[in-house]
Amino acid sequence: MLLSKGSVKLRSLGASPFVLTLLAGLTAAATSGCFFVDDGDDGDHSHWDDDDYDHVGDDDTPPPVDTIEQVAIQPDRVLEAVPGEGVGIFVEYGSGGKWHVWTTCDTFTSKSVCSFSIFASTRDSTTLFSYASDRTEGFDTVTDLGDGTVELIVDTDSDVDGLWLETTAGAPLTLEVYLDGQSAEPFVYWVSNDVIHPGAPDNPIQMVPTLP
């Protein structure tokens, strides 16, 4: 079940005590061993396999790359939603390069669990400084896949599961999202121009921070 637009609320980052609690939780994760640092030493993965494309004459041009649609995301805006009341993948960006991606499910009505697979990617490993799980438990996992990509796999019911990322300030973030093995772009929420946007136009989608 999609969340109704009225059930997702917007708040300013600077004025919200709830956000201060989340930021304190991130610090706690860093001291408890749940915070991970990407050293950026993942080798060079910029090459391509000769078998992945057809040669045209002697031209060694790499295979074409599909264009990823971009959307703007407004810094320092926080979304609220009641866990268990609807399916959502919420994306927030804090000034300075702090991203927060979190999930909810419609467990109260569906009596089921939402299995999310989310891939969050920066331009390359040098733009991803660190990452941390947020309120995950059980068999939930956060995995560094290299090249600036972090995978979040969670089973969400009446709780919230999420991921924190610290990147180069202003760097875009590409998200690829799946729910129960199916493309989940209709469930993505983010803020731009103080407007909550329900549903991404494509999957994957690249979110580009605007100026504060």
Q: Does some domain include residue 92?
A: yes
Q: Is 44 a member of any domain?
A: no
pLDDT at residue 93 tops 80: yes
**Domain coverage including residue 169:** 5-39+69-209
Q: What spatial distance separates the first Cα and last Cα of the chain, rounded to whole Å?
A: 33
Query: For residue 20, how far is the Cα from the chain centroid?
Result: 20
| 74 neighbors 180 (Cβ within 8 angstroms) | no
187 lies in some domain: yes
pLDDT digits (tens, 9 = 90+) for 190-211: 999 999 999 999 999 999 999 8
Is residue 94 helix, strand or coil?
strand
The pTM of this model reads 0.72
Residue 8 pLDDT class (50, 70, 90 cuts): low
With a cut of 80, say whether residue 41 has pLDDT above it.
Answer: no
For 32, residues 6+ apart whose C-beta sits below 8 A from its C-beta are none
- Does residue 172 belong to any structural domain of this protein? yes
Q: Is 147 part of any domain?
A: yes
Q: In this predicted model, what pLDDT tens digit does every residue of 162-195 receive, in sequence order?
A: 999 999 999 999 999 999 999 999 999 999 999 9
Alpha helices, H only, 37-183: 107-110
How many domains is the chain built from? 1
